[in-house]
Amino acid sequence: MAIRCPKCQIDNPPDSKYCRECATPLPHQPETLDVSLTKTVETPPQELSVGTLFAGRYQIIEELGHGGMGRVYRALDKKVNEEVALKLIRPEIAAERKTLERFQNELKTARRISHRHVGRMYELMDEKGAHFITMEYVPGEDLRSAIRRFGQLPVGKSLSIARQIGEGLAEAHRQGVVHRDLKPGNIMIDREGNARILDFGIARSLQEKGITGGGVMIGTPEYMSPEQAEAREVDHLSDIYSLGVILFEMVTGRVPFEGETPLGVAMKHKSEAPPNPKTLNPQLPDDLNRIILRCLEKDRTQRYQSAEELLEDLRKIEKGVPTTERLAARKPLTAREITVTFKLRKVILPAALLVAVIVIGYIIWKALPRKPAGPALAVKHSVAVLPFVDLSPDQSSEHLADGISDALINALSRIRDLRVPARTSAFYFKGKEQDIREIGQKLNVRTVLEGSVQVIGDRLRVAAQLINVDDGFQLWSEKYDRMMDDLFTIQDDIGRAIVDTLKVEILGKAEAPLVKPETTNLEAYNLYLQGRYFWNKRVRDYLLKSIEYFEKALAIEPGYAPAYSGLANAYLVLASNLLLPPREGYPKAKEFALKALAIDKKNAEGYSVLGAVKRGYEWDFAGAEDDFKTAIEINPNEPNSHHFYAFLLSQLGRHEEAIEEVKRARDLDPLAPRIRANVGYLLYFARRYKEALEELKKALDFDPGHAATYEYIGDVYRETGHYKEAIWHFRKGSELVPYSCYFLQALAITYARAGNIKESRRILKEIEERSKKEYASPAVTAAVYGALGEKDTAFDFLNKAHAERDSGISFLKVEPIFDPLRSDPRFTSLLKKVGLE
């Protein structure tokens, strides 16, 4: 039953302690927070587990960060089916009644603000003694992370962000609310590029007194106004100063004042003149330079006197500055963050003040928010389907054993509440003797399915068992001794047994088959499984062999959609890995993907391949995005769709989204060497070389035989000037894949960059000879000539690459090997022709 607020008459959820509109205490709640009134004292949780339902309403999705006040989570509010940010207040803080009263009043002031550039505050609630605040969840990246990654931001982008922050502040100030802790960490840039001010949780009303005690310094030292540093009363002019610091940092890549201690930084704001931003960024417009310095005036009367006044000047400059300037990758700076609170008496010795601030500052400094490395996926319901073992007397049914595992993985992965690691990760353990507990740990699952297959004539014997990872006990086991014709029924029986045992709910009709056969023709199915068996090896000769088997399956069963999508994927891999000329591989991939979709509109693989063709060959980037999103909607747990989509986002320069997407693919297929390597590769495209190298070295340790990992490490070493290391890795990769011309091209670029022109030209001749028999990307050859300084020849090859629809062209916007050519107007023209500009 809803509870009506006695003050504003708004209905509130039954578990609310305070009104969601005005934060007034609700009548059914006691006036005090004395836990001794309850018969059973429950210890409020200090953290929440991912995947759990909190307060009967909030499904915890991930932890966003934690600090001195508590932990912040992304959660799904199941009551309204919307995501929120949930701040769980630490019990020792919530135990103080005055603290909760302050939060109540601060929430009341913050709720007045309703603006597109301000994140909304919702409710202060409690659940069995655990107090928490709900807020609007804004997906994206905070400004602090962007500055740390890129360093100096373009002037146009900085102005746009500052203007949006200013608009949000102007509305807050109109409502009588001051933020008091404005900093990049509290500015979220959403996925559309819009700035949102977060966490008005410590906002203070201009019109209300007594929310916080006198002599309180609240803020972050790097962004504090002089009056904050002195713990004096602050108003909207303090926010304007902080915005000036943020703007200074965006255009210079550093904050105006740095120091060894929080107090030292804060005191510089009080006593030292800020450096001139133009000395750190000579390209800074004079007008913008003056705006920043005016915001940073020590004398409050010399600053802008309102956010509207500041906005007027920002808008004038923004009109004449492009907002699409390229982000320059720089070494990230480390900013310290702290919220320092201390109480002063009216009369106190300076030395005592200094000691108090240092002691309290150090305590709170230790409790700074630190974003976790990444939450583990929820594994309440999870199963790894290991490859079934072929126990047939002639050992000729390995493809059938793999096929049963594949069918179960594909079917189970579509169940919403069941986590199933993808095929590559599950098959990592094929032929290896490993402890079940180790498998469970590596795949982050609680149960493992293993089994065996025996084919004797037309008889089929399948044994399967579901094992609990924690103790190794069987949860379920069964043996099936049937005719081969019963294969599809057996697969469905096993799948349903897993679902029943784990008590997972299946959406849709209960009687519908879980493992749906796309054909009842066993011969066609057998040929298809053999095609998949060879396709999964992902080597040129095996890929060509897989095509033969898919074609044989279609000769028997012309309407067999999986065989068409298998053909599409085989040609896609050959073309995208430069093992076939683009005009030979991509059109066939598209043709067969469309045939698969004509038969089965829910064929996620078909949409995924179609998107990859549009991305790498047709350069229809909008169409590619639609196809990838459709594939993900059909089967959100299929890693390849996320993987392919990540590359599209990277090609378009949407690096944060790309890295998030490829990491999602890695979560779904954690042991897939190519996905692991491509996490590093997309970081390379984002020019985050240090992070890229860290990821790639982990991938190489995991699988030292993966050729692409050597290629990507070589790329990073080349771009960071470590030419010897780059050459070694390219040569090592070439040993693993001797039929690929790419490694030779990479070597030629590296030798040219290192100044060994003679060796670079020698390799170019070798490439020319090999290109008569093998495909050599003209786009990459263009990069070789670019490294040699021969721009005209380089553009001849780029034009050839464009004419041949070489997939390398689609990476023009982000691939560092093309940097020597970017300043040429012909390069910009080519970007526009491809649709990347």
Question: Is the pLDDT at 320 greater than 80, yes or no?
Answer: no
Per-residue pLDDT of 384-427, as tens digits, reads: 899 888 888 777 888 888 888 888 888 888 787 788 888 888 88
Residue 18 · residue 94 · CB < 8 Å: no
Q: On the CB side of 816, how many CA atoms lie within 13 Å of its CA?
A: 24
What pLDDT is stored for residue 39 in this prediction? 36
* Bridge-based pairing state of the strands 195-197 and 187-190: antiparallel
136 φψ region: left (φ > 0), alpha (ψ -120 to 50), beta (else): beta
Number of structural domains in the chain: 4
Q: Do 156 and 295 have their domain in common? A: yes
Final residue of a domain: which of 366, 395, 421?
366
Q: Is residue 246 part of a domain?
A: yes
Q: Do 276 and 313 have their domain in common? A: yes
Distance of CA 491 to the CA centre of its chain: 35
Per-residue pLDDT of 351-361, as tens digits, reads: 444 444 444 45
Q: Which residues have C-beta within 8 Å of that of residue 78, sequence separation ≥ 6?
A: 53, 57, 58, 59
Q: Do 361 and 450 have their domain in common? A: no
Neighbours of 334 (CB within 10 A): 6
Output the domain CATH number for residue 406: 3.40.50.10070
Residue 643 · residue 804 · CB < 8 Å: no
Q: Which residue has the tokens 């906005």?
A: 311
Listed ranges 108-122, 233-247, 452-466; the one with the highest mean pLDDT? 233-247
Q: Is residue 542 part of a domain?
A: no
For residue 762, the 8-state DSSP code is H
Question: Is the pLDDT at 469 greater than 50, yes or no?
Answer: yes
Q: List beta partners, residue 84.
A: 75, 136
Listed ranges 231-235, 483-487, 560-564, 792-796; the one with the highest mean pLDDT? 792-796
Per-residue pLDDT of 595-624, as tens digits, reads: 999 999 988 999 999 999 999 899 999 999
Q: Which residues have C-beta within 8 Å of that of residue 349, sequence separation ≥ 6?
A: none
* Bridge-based pairing state of the strands 383-385 and 447-456: parallel
C-alpha–C-alpha distance, residues 118 and 186, integer Å? 10
Output the domain CATH number for residue 220: 1.10.510.10
Q: Do 230 and 361 have their domain in common? A: yes
Q: Is residue 672 part of a domain?
A: no
Q: Is residue 63 part of a domain?
A: yes
Question: Is the pLDDT at 367 greater than 60, yes or no?
Answer: no
Q: Do 405 and 314 have their domain in common? A: no
Q: Do 357 and 390 have their domain in common? A: no
Average confidence (pLDDT) over 741-755: 94
Q: Do 126 and 148 have their domain in common? A: no
Output the domain CATH number for residue 100: 3.30.200.20
Q: Do 421 and 482 have their domain in common? A: yes
φ, ψ for residue 223 (rounded to 5)?
Answer: -120, 10
DSSP string for residues in 780-791 = HHHHHHHHTT-H
Q: Do 293 and 343 have their domain in common? A: yes
Residue 204 · residue 106 · CB < 8 Å: yes
Could you tell me the two tokens for 244? 């000036």
Per-residue pLDDT of 500-516, as tens digits, reads: 887 776 555 555 667 77
| 338: confidence class by pLDDT, cuts 50, 70, 90 | very low
Final residue of a domain: which of 98, 121, 136?
136
Per-residue pLDDT of 63-77, as tens digits, reads: 887 766 778 898 999
Question: Is the pLDDT at 209 greater than 50, yes or no?
Answer: no
| 212: confidence class by pLDDT, cuts 50, 70, 90 | very low
Question: Is the pLDDT at 293 greater than 70, yes or no?
Answer: yes
Average confidence (pLDDT) over 315-341: 50
Q: Is residue 69 part of a domain?
A: yes
Give the residue among 27, 3, 32 at the shortest CA–CA distance from 15: 3
Could you tell me the two tokens for 771? 């290109």
Give the residue among 498, 497, 521, 496 at the shortest CA–CA distance from 511: 496
Question: Is the pLDDT at 42 greater than 60, yes or no?
Answer: no
Q: Is residue 813 part of a domain?
A: yes
Q: Do 362 and 404 have their domain in common? A: no
Residue 301 · residue 330 · CB < 8 Å: no
Q: Is residue 203 part of a domain?
A: yes
Q: Do 317 and 438 have their domain in common? A: no
Q: Is residue 668 part of a domain?
A: no
Per-residue pLDDT of 127-161, as tens digits, reads: 888 889 898 998 877 888 778 756 788 888 899 99
Handedness of CA 441, 442, 448, 453 (dihedral sign): negative
Domain that holds residue 758: 739-837
Q: Do 358 and 465 have their domain in common? A: no
What pLDDT is stored for residue 336 in this prediction? 37
Q: In the predicted model, what is the mean pLDDT of the chain?
A: 82
C-alpha–C-alpha distance, residues 342 and 351, integer Å? 14
Final residue of a domain: which of 456, 483, 517?
517
